[in-house]
Amino acid sequence: MRITYKGDYALKALLDLAIHYELGVSTINDIAKRIDAPVKFLEQVLLDLKKGGFVESRRGNVGGYQLAKDPAKITLGQVIRFIDGPIELIACVEKNYSNCADLNRCVFKNIWQKVTKATADIVDNINFAQLVHQVKLKKNGFVYSI
């Protein structure tokens, strides 16, 4: 798998919203400015994140976006998989794959599974509360560039 720009923006937007978790909604424009993303593209990303249940929105004059749940309940792995797809390096070890002649005899499969597990062990054990904490630790003249 590969983290695309879309995935990158999604993670940054969520971290941004996690940092402002207690402060209510942020507008797309504000988020875009803070994380340096193209506004119209970020629109789509946020829409997707809403469909995924990661954020919620309010329209109108004082509208905007905010996290839909506690930052501690959102892991990196959840977001990556939702936006950019499976973390597997190759389709043959993804769930419900049935296109291989004889997968059980394949000496590569075992390797791809190991890599998948190693990656999952990392991204599934980091949540946005931890990230916010790390951001705050970095306050050496912190100017908010994620």
Partner DNA sequence: ATTTTGTCTACTATCCCTATAAACATAGTA
Partner DNA sequence: TACTATGTTTATAGGGATAGTAGACAAAAT
Q: Which residues bind DNA (CB under 7 A)?
A: 2, 4-6, 25-29, 38, 40-41, 43-44, 46-47, 50, 57-65, 84
Q: Which residues of 48-71 are buried (b: 16+ CB within 10 A; e: fewer)?
A: ebeebebbeeeeeeeebbbbbeeb
Nearer to a copy of itself, 58 or 117 (CB): 117
Q: How far is the CB of 24 from DNA (least distance, A)?
A: 12
Query: What CA–CA distance (Å, rounded) separates 114 from 111?
Result: 5
Nearer to DNA, 46 or 127 (CB): 46
> Looking at beta carbons, which pairs linking 59-65 to residues 24 or more positions away fall under 8 Å?
62/25, 63/25, 63/27, 64/24, 64/25, 64/26, 64/27, 64/28, 64/30, 65/13, 65/17, 65/25, 65/26, 65/27, 65/28, 65/31
Residue 89 interacts with which of DNA, a copy of itself, none, CB < 5 to 8 Å by class: a copy of itself
Q: Which stretches of the chain bind a copy of itself, using CB under 8 A?
A: 1-3, 8, 11-12, 15, 36, 76, 89-90, 101-102, 105-108, 111-112, 114-115, 118-119, 121-123, 126, 131, 134-135, 138, 142-143, 145-146
Residue 38 interacts with which of a copy of itself, DNA, none, CB < 5 to 8 Å by class: DNA
